[in-house]
Structure 1
Amino acid sequence: MNLIGRASVTDEVRLRVYNRIAWRFLPLLLLGYLFANIDRVNVAFAKLQMSGAIGLTEAMYGFGAGIFFISYALTEIPSNMILHRVGARLWLARIMIVWGLISAATMFVQTPVQFYSIRFVLGIAEAGFYPGALLFMTYWFPSRLRAQAIAVMILGSTLASMIGSPLSGAIMGYMNGLAGLAGWQWVFVIEGLPATILGIVLIVRLRNGPADAEWLDADEKALVIADLAAEAQAHIHAGRHRFSSAFRNPNIWCVIVANFANLSTLYGIQFWLPTVIQKLGGTSVFSTGLIAAGLALIPCFVLFANARHSDRTRERRWHATFGFALSAAGLYLAGASNGNVYFTLMGLVMASSGQVICSNTIFTLPGTFVTGAAAAAGFALITTLGNLAGYTMPYLFGVLRESTGGFSAGFYAMAAVALVGAVAILVTPALRREGRGGAGEEEALAIGA
């Protein structure tokens, strides 16, 4: 079973090396991103019981869920620059150990202010994991394989819904009152601490770069280092390696807007999906979890189909544009469904499918625009400003929900933002110049291929 699928005979040795690297690290990054997204899913489910227990209104929940991203954004760039200096092994492990402990401590909140406070602190603790993991991939994989490597990690987002949703529903349904704790308190304990355990594993398993990999022989190290050096040299000649280069690069700013629009779809759905399902479908907490899990299946397949096709054709612009268009269409359908649960959920599946296409495609781009310290700053800048969507959209959705009494206005707002993302990708200068990339040999990173 290979992480690399078909390849030309001349590239067989090279791709075998990248297969070994992929199997060594990608499952760990997948788990890390899975736990990070379960940390989003659990608060969305905990809300169903916690709101009444600690006195949260819809808007207050949206504010508390979103304030996590304010502190996250404030500390993300410094976090990524520290990772670039001290190495991914230590820094990613530190992030996971601390965030797992703080997430579990959410069980102790008793008031809305305490909820806001611990969400803010959790954002500081978790800041840097996602952009740090993306930056880590640029230390190991050349750009032609990066979309598929990123797709493996992004799979954690859909798996979080498939695993975290029914798990949260089961915990809240069957552990409520156990040992004197409410079901929502058990959710934070059981789903928070695994991140701490994985952080300890990362210290043992991760390596900062090919030169540190004792499990690669000298020839294999030289091969990977040479591949990455060739790409980096092109950026250095173009002056795209300095820290300040990321802030002056118009392509980076276009991607920032696109990422903000895409994360508006992700977090708008992620933080409100359980409420939408329960209100429109009248389901129990456990049934709500099962439905949410089922809705994640189609985006999971869409993610890998897009990654393979995008890497094979070396084309990013129209893949991302299609993703945004699909998200906007799905969100419009959800808003226009007039409370029909089936059409609403169909629209949200479409929107989620478009969102994973965009996530997968967007984050292949920064490593082709800049390198070195500029790449570290670029990834962090994109995720920092993009993650402000995690504050604005859940909060806006909550306000619109309270003011209109329904979900349609929130879905329409998300659809409009998705269209802005499509425009940002279409006007990105580097993508306009390149047009459609030529198709090369298919080199596919795919679990189970």
Structure 2
Amino acid sequence: MTTIADRARPLTGTLINAEDLIYKKVMLRLIPFLFLCYVCSYLNRINVSFAKLQMAQDLAWSDTVYGLGAGMFFIGYFAFEIPSNIIMYRVGARRWIARIMVTWGLISAAMMFVNTPTQFYVMRFLLGVAEAGFFPAILLYISQWFPSSRGAKVTALFMAAIPMSGVIGAPLSGWIMHSLSGVQNLAGWQWLFILEGIPTILVGIFAYFYLTDRIEDAHWLGEEDRKILRHNLDKESTGKHLHRMMDGLKDPKIWLLSFIYLFFTMGLYGVSFWLPTLIQASGVTDSMHLGLLTAIPYACAVVTMILVGRSSDRLKERRWHLAIPGVLAAVGFLISASFQSDILISLPALCLATMGVMTTISQFWTLPPAILTGAAAATGIALANSIGSASGFISPFIMGTINAATHSTSAGIIMLSGVLVGGCLLVFFVPKKLLTYK
């Protein structure tokens, strides 16, 4: 079988260009599908932010009830994150990712039956349990194919699924709630959960047959190409001193990274769970218009994440590529809070905030693989994501409580700005050698 490396050498005369072609093929094979999986994941996680616009009114719920329910997802997620990733490391990505997606798709669709706050809390908790381990499993899976030096671009492309789920999901959610409300005696928010849960189940089933667990099993690559991929990963792993499962739980650098991620995800979930409400506060009430306007900040974030990821790999620098977007996000939140009733100012400010927040998240995930390998990567990535996921409970609950107490979203937005700045400051405590590449 003629390999990519064999075809590239006569044209370029260098192995480096041959490697670029190999990694391009791997990227085209894996990243678009993983992107689709994560769009499904994030869409099912945050569609409650749109459902809330009708659901809270139909069921007479306060912002406090909604904020607590939105956050309950992350209690289940946090509790089962590390065990889930350990299982994935042992049984392989293909089986475990498929299991996760099918389970959470079923639970997400079943959200249509919720009537009471208690039911809402229980279902959100179970959704978190079902989805636990998915995101770190994907990151671990990517690290088993791509070395850290290529990580920023690949991670940014994959994590562009977060804002892309908003680009796709916001208009779709708005349309579903606007057009299907009352059909078959179901509310628009009930249709939302049904129609966004079923595709996840189908994609999960397909994942079982499509994904390849190991480089050695990738028969869609030539033998020489597989050897090059394995050689690059093995060569990089020799410089990493954290290999064992407990290394990923005990090393102080992992805990520092975990708390940086906690601060940044506070901002992320502020956007994810409250962006439609923040835009609604400027005077936009129609569900369809809300969906279209909510898609704009997410669309801007897709472009920013990819451009910053490419710049980070090209310049081989992580610290400023992580801190600057965080500061810009904080500034965007502050401006939106100051001009909340003026859509012409608040919407561009929310675009800046969303662009900055999303970029910090994609840039952050280039750091753990730089010091972790093997079983340590499974536990360390899961630990960082678990601690960060705690913000998924903290952020919406605090925002909901502040909103209910002040009858305004401004104070909650200012709080998000503060924690983002705190995360940026913590970045400078990470050893510089972990944030640069030769």
2: CA distance between counterparts of 1:283 and 1:225? 54
2: CA distance between counterparts of 1:264 and 1:175? 33
2: CA distance between counterparts of 1:323 and 1:308? 14
Which secondary structure does the structure 1 equivalent of 2:115 belong to? coil
Q: Partner of 2:320 in structure 1? A: 318
Return the TM-score normalized by structure 2. 0.95
2: CA distance between counterparts of 1:150 and 1:388? 22
**Stretch deviating more after TM superposition (325-334 or 382-391):** 325-334
Q: Partner of 1:447 in structure 2? A: none
Which secondary structure does the structure 2 equivalent of 1:375 belong to? helix
- Give the counterpart of 2:62 among 41, 57, 61: 57
Letter matched to residue 186 of structure 1: W
- In the alignment, is the contact (CA less than 8 A) between 1:55 and 1:111 conserved in 2? no
Identity of aligned residues (%): 37
1:134 aligned onto 2:139? yes
Q: Partner of 1:242 in structure 2? A: 244
Q: Partner of 1:227 in structure 2? A: 232
Deviations 1:68-116 (A, max 9, x none): 0011011000000101110001001100011001100000111111111
| Structure 1 position 341, deviation (Å) | 2.7
1:28 aligned onto 2:30? no
- In the alignment, is the contact (CA less than 8 A) between 2:336 and 2:346 conserved in 1? yes
| Structure 1 position 299, deviation (Å) | 1.2
Which secondary structure does the structure 2 equivalent of 1:296 belong to? helix
Letter matched to residue 246 of structure 1: G
| Structure 1 position 434, deviation (Å) | 5.7
**Stretch deviating more after TM superposition (226-235 or 390-399):** 226-235
Deviations 1:196-246 (A, max 9, x none): 1111111111011101111112111111111111111222xx3x1011212
1:187-336 aligned at under 5 Å gives the runs: 187-235=192-240, 238=241, 240-336=242-338
Deviations 1:38-79 (A, max 9, x none): 113311111111112223111100000111001101100000
- In the alignment, is the contact (CA less than 8 A) between 1:267 and 1:394 conserved in 2? yes
- In the alignment, is the contact (CA less than 8 A) between 1:299 and 1:356 conserved in 2? yes
Letter matched to residue 308 of structure 1: R
1: CA distance between counterparts of 2:52 and 2:387? 26
| Structure 1 position 176, deviation (Å) | 0.6
- In the alignment, is the contact (CA less than 8 A) between 1:251 and 1:369 conserved in 2? no
1: CA distance between counterparts of 2:403 and 2:348? 20
| Structure 1 position 437, deviation (Å) | 4.3
- In the alignment, is the contact (CA less than 8 A) between 1:41 and 1:160 conserved in 2? no
Which secondary structure does the structure 1 equivalent of 2:358 belong to? helix
1:80-229 aligned at under 5 Å gives the runs: 80-229=85-234
Q: Partner of 2:5 in structure 1? A: none
| Structure 1 position 193, deviation (Å) | 1.1
Which secondary structure does the structure 1 equivalent of 2:225 belong to? helix
2: CA distance between counterparts of 1:131 and 1:88? 11
2: CA distance between counterparts of 1:124 and 1:8? 51
How much is the aligned-residue C-alpha RMSD, in angstroms? 1.4
- In the alignment, is the contact (CA less than 8 A) between 1:40 and 1:270 conserved in 2? no
1:376 aligned onto 2:383? no
Q: Quickly say closer, same or farther: Cα 1:222–1:10, change in 2 above 3 A.
A: closer
- Give the counterpart of 1:16 among 21, 46, 53: 21
1:426 aligned onto 2:431? no
1: CA distance between counterparts of 2:375 and 2:274? 37
1:341-420 aligned at under 5 Å gives the runs: 341-420=343-422
Unaligned runs of 5+ in 1: 1-6, 439-449
| Structure 1 position 10, deviation (Å) | 3.9
| Structure 1 position 435, deviation (Å) | 6.6
2: CA distance between counterparts of 1:9 and 1:214? 24
Unaligned runs of 5+ in 2: 1-11
2: CA distance between counterparts of 1:213 and 1:150? 21
Q: Quickly say closer, same or farther: Cα 1:187–1:261, change in 2 above 3 A.
A: same
- In the alignment, is the contact (CA less than 8 A) between 2:370 and 2:434 conserved in 1? no
| Structure 1 position 344, deviation (Å) | 2.2
Letter matched to residue 357 of structure 2: Q
| Structure 1 position 330, deviation (Å) | 1.1
Which secondary structure does the structure 2 equivalent of 1:110 belong to? coil
- In the alignment, is the contact (CA less than 8 A) between 1:41 and 1:164 conserved in 2? no
Letter matched to residue 224 of structure 2: D
Letter matched to residue 225 of structure 2: E
Deviations 1:358-408 (A, max 9, x none): 112110111111111111111100110101111111111111111111111
Q: Quickly say closer, same or farther: Cα 1:158–1:8, change in 2 above 3 A.
A: farther
| Structure 1 position 287, deviation (Å) | 0.5
1: CA distance between counterparts of 2:435 and 2:86? 32
| Structure 1 position 28, deviation (Å) | 1.1
1: CA distance between counterparts of 2:293 and 2:356? 19
Q: Quickly say closer, same or farther: Cα 1:437–1:219, change in 2 above 3 A.
A: closer
- TM superposition outliers: structure 1 runs of 4+ over 3 Å: 7-10, 433-438
Q: Quickly say closer, same or farther: Cα 1:434–1:164, change in 2 above 3 A.
A: closer
